[in-house]
Structures are given as C-alpha cells and as structure tokens.
Structure 1
Amino acid sequence: MIAAVKKLTLNEYLAYDDGTDARYELVDGELVEMPPKSDRNNLISLYLLSQFLKFVPIQLIRHKDTELVVIGNRTRVRLPDLIHLTQELYDAIAGRRATIAPDMPSPAMVVEVVSLGKVNEDRDYRYKRSEYAARGIPEYSIVDADRARITLLTLIDGLYEETVFEGTELIKSATFPMLDLTAAQILSAGQA
C-alpha cells in the first residue's frame, strides 16, 4: 500500500526549508522541484530584463526569485522568469518576503521562458495560462526558443487573447508599448 503524500498548505510551503538551494513551486499542495534553467533560457531572461530596465525602475522588475501565489484546485505558487510589478504591488510587498500573496494586487506582466520537455511546455502554455488569467495578470508572455516564437497573451474580459510573434515581426506589448524588439532579437540573446 502506498502512503498518501501530505499536502502542504500555503503557510507550510512558505515555512518549508530542506536545507538545500533547491527551488520549488507548490502545485496542488505538493512541492515540485524546479530544475536549473538552461544557459540559453538564462540569457534570454537577462536580455529581456536589460530591455525592460530601459523603461521602468529596477524596483518594479523581479527576476526568477519572486513567488506568485495563484489559485487552482488548491493553492499553487509559481516562480516566473520575469515579473513587472505595478507601483501598488511594489508598495504591498514593501521589503517583506518576495511573495505575491492572493490579497495583493496582480503584477502588470509575467514572462516565462519555456524549458525543454512536454511537462515544461504544458506548465507554461496550459496551466500557467489559466492560472495567470484567473489571477488577473493583464499580460503574459511565453518565450519559446525551440519553436522560435513569442506568444503574447493579453487579458480581455477574463480570458487571454493570443498573438504570436516570429522572426522580424515587431512585438506589440500594451505593458511596454515603447519596446522596439522582434522575436528574432530576443531569441538570439540565447545564442551565446
């Protein structure tokens, strides 16, 4: 007989420390270890970070280590690659643990850089899409180097409408209307 795995509450997750540097997302009460990002994905997210910082102060950008609490069947905690905070959200975090709790405002934008494998694709394209929409995040970008495209999801009436950018097509973002980048420019940042 297989013993049931104890489901963690949000508070138990927030207090969890296994004494390692492992990073975990909380998915329906279970810890899911996040493997290290590939160098390609790190370069892409750092490139985007450098571009965003041209238009917003560093206080309003988070890179990889800010937790975002979303609600599914049970509480889930995600670790997006990039988050653009609103000033109101920045004030709500106010020097506390870098966790965006359910009672806090939503970020203005979240960016995920897709890692290899079906499990990762499903997480970024399917599950996070519905979770981020339910959380009310106005814009969600999925950067997919393997498919050589960037999917920009814009929240309209509670659902995301999708626009796919490839090659030299200029990306049109409501969050960063002044951004003058193509999918090819962003994806080439991952080619060291």
Structure 2
Amino acid sequence: MTSPDYSIEQDAVAKGYFRIAGVDEVGRGPLAGPVVAAAVILNPDDIPEGLNDSKKLAAKKRAVLGAALHDRAEVAVAQASVAEIDEINILRASHLAMERAVAALDPPPDYLLIDGNMIPRDLALPAQAVVKGDAYSVSIAAASIVAKNWRDQLMVDLAQQHPGYGWETNAGYPSKQHKQALQNLGVTPHHRRSFKPVHNILYQE
C-alpha cells in the first residue's frame, strides 16, 4: 500500500503555485454532531513523517501528528452545524465547512487540493479535486488528521453532556450502542434530524 506523498503538490508548484492547501472533511456519516473540515498548508521543507489517511492511523499516532502539524504547518479548522446540515443537506454542509476552513487561512492559499470528486462551489481559488486524496496527497492527509482529531475531541466533550450514546468512542456514528440509546434515551439537540434513523424516531407512527 503506497503512502501519500508531495507529488501532486509539486505539480502545482510547477504551475507557479506555492501556498498549496490540502482540504478535507470529517463527519459526513454520523447521526450526531457537526461536520468538520480542515485546511492545511505544509512547509515542503518540514513535513512531519507518517502522514496518512486519518482512518488508517491509531488515535495516539493521530494525536502526535496533529500536534506536529499545529507546530510546523499552517492549519485552519471550521465546521457546519447540525442545524445547517439539516437545512442544506450533508454534502452542501461539508462543502460549507471546507469553504470556511479555507477562508480562515491567513494569508490565503493560492491553490487548493480538495479531497473527493467535487470542488465546493463558493471557493474562488484555483483548485483540484483528488478522489481518495488522503491516500495520495500529504497535504490532504494532514487535513484529514487535523479535522478528525478536532471532531473526535468535540464528540468526547459532548458525550459528557449527553452520556449513554457512546459518542466518546463512536464519534456520533451509528454504532449499535448509539442506535439503542436513541431508542431508549431519545433525540438530543446534537442529533441530525434529517438523517433517517433520527427522523424515524422523531416521527414514529
């Protein structure tokens, strides 16, 4: 299995771009919590070793890499709320979080590498969509790590306020425990009402 590298970024450098941000989101699938995106501009001379798709890394490794990225790269994190997810749908909300993360980089990047097959419509910068980008681009892998660490910690914090759903371990994804708790404990303000398992409980006949 190949690890992500800096070759896509080098192609962009060859076109005259230098502030290249990898952009990725985490949290499309959960039943609860916001969708979170990160934008990361790596220093090509100081890239932390071991960057990879956040889903392929153990939590401890992700934490170490996340700290290194905050120290050695330019990092921005943003989210779209549960209310926004329910209002505009999860795909558009994930793009909104990406747009906000890019806007939070100061000074702005001049080129974007976006994980997935779509470029969010309100990004006015030159951009390239990279399918499975966190497996190919270290910048996108870095963004996936930062976004996952940030969102996982948020869900741990929310689990303190709403115990029983297992958010500290399932991060709001539809695990067996989470779905059982929805039946037994009901729907919290942090649940996505437009998602079928939640919607079905709210509107049971």
TM-score, normalised relative to structure 2: 0.23
More strand by share: 1
User: Could you say which structure has the larger radius of gyration?
Assistant: 2
Length-normalised TM-score, structure 1? 0.25
Identify which of structures 1 and 2 has the higher relative contact order when contacts are C-alpha pairs closer than 8 Å and 6+ apart: 2
